[in-house]
Amino acid sequence: EVQLVESGGGVVQPGGSLRLSCAASGFTFDDYPMHWVRQVPGKGLEWVSQITWDGDSTYYADSVKGRFTISRDNSKNSLYLQMRSLRTEDTALYYCAKEGSDPYAMDVWGQGTTVTVSS
Amino acid sequence: QSMLAQPPSASGTPGQRVTISCSGSSSNIGSNPVNWYQQLPGTAPKLLIYSFNQRPSGVPDRFSGSKSGTSASLAISGLQSEDEAVYYCAAWDDSLNAVVFGGGTKLTVL
Label residue B3 by pLDDT band (50, 70, 90): confident
Residue among B28, B42, B108, B30 nearest B76 (CA) = B108
Longest dimension (CA), chain A: 42
pLDDT at A41: 93
The pLDDT tens digits for A45-64 are: 999 999 999 999 999 999 99
- Chain B residue with the nearest C-alpha to that of A110: B44
Q: Is the separation of the CB atoms in B91 and B36 below 8 Å?
A: no
Contact B56 A46 (CB under 8 A): no
**What number is the average pLDDT over the span A95-105?**
93
Residue A8 scores a pLDDT above 70? yes
SS3 B64: strand
Label residue A101 by pLDDT band (50, 70, 90): confident
Rounded to a whole number, what is the distance in Å from the CA of A112 to chain B's nearest CA? 8
What integer best gives the mean pLDDT of chain A?
A: 97
Residue A43 scores a pLDDT above 60? yes
pLDDT at A73: 98
pLDDT at B2: 62
Residues 90-109 of B with CB under 8 A from A: 90-92, 96-104
The pLDDT tens digits for B16-60 are: 999 999 999 999 999 999 999 999 999 999 999 998 799 999 999
Instruction: Give dist(CA A79, CA A58) in Å, integer.
Output: 12
Instruction: Give dist(CA A33, CA A29) in Å, integer.
Output: 9
Residues of A in contact with B28 (CB under 8 A): none
Q: Is B7 on the interface with A (CB under 8 A)?
A: no
Q: Is the separation of the CB atoms in B32 and B94 below 8 Å?
A: yes
Residue A3 scores a pLDDT above 60? yes
Residue among B77, B104, B103, B88 nearest B35 (CA) = B88
Label residue B1 by pLDDT band (50, 70, 90): low
pLDDT at B52: 79
At B24, which amino acid appears? G
If 0-12 CB within 10 Å is exposed, 13-18 middle and 19+ buried, where does residue A62 land?
exposed
Q: Is B110 on the interface with A (CB under 8 A)?
A: no
